[in-house]
Amino acid sequence: MFNSELKYLKPFCLTAFLLAGSPGALAQDETASRPLFDRLGGLMPISVVVDDFFDAVVSDDQIKANPAVDASRKVVPAPYLKYQVTAMVCEVTGGPCSYHGRDMKAAHAHLNITEAQWDRMIVLFKEVLAKHEVPETETAELLDIVGSTRADIVTAP
């Protein structure tokens, strides 16, 4: 759950805890079986994180130094990219959205993304997730999902 939602949900969670009694292994299994989309809080918090992440990547000097990335940002509108990435994250985390964009290999082939730029993007992603207080388990799951795209995105040494 993200920090902006916690102030509204703390009384609910406390009440649920008191009514349910001590949460045993069954409660932990139920939480673990919930889709990542639900554990992240749904579409609204996902879209906020994507928006902040995109802004961090766009303004990063190391990533902007790649001329292909910089040129691409001047052609493709930021709101469109944010929408596409939000839909993709929603879908891959088990949410109700459908991503209709290009696959990661086709979308990034012309950008000549390097290992160093990928690593920088991961640092920025972790910083944004920490800023929004995304729990450790969900952060690890998101990093696994993002990591699974590395081979399709990193095309330059």
| Residue 32 confidence (pLDDT) | 63
| Residue 30 confidence (pLDDT) | 54
DSSP assignment of 87-123 equals HHHHHHTT-S----S--HHHHHGGG-EEHHHHHHHHH
Is residue 108 annotated as involved in ligand binding?
yes
Res 71 pLDDT > 80: yes
Per the DSSP assignment, residues forming a β-bridge with 113 are 154
pLDDT 10s digits, 21-68: 333 333 445 556 899 999 999 999 999 999 999 999 999 999 999 999
- Domain annotation for the chain: domains and CATH numbers: 34-156 (1.10.490.10)
Residue 141 · residue 129 · CB < 8 Å:
no
Neighbours of 120 (CB within 10 A): 17
Residue 98 is which amino acid? S
pLDDT 10s digits, 85-135: 999 999 999 999 999 999 999 999 999 999 999 999 999 999 999 999 999
| Residue 94 confidence (pLDDT) | 98
Res 145 pLDDT > 90: yes
Classified as helix, coil or strand, 12 is: helix
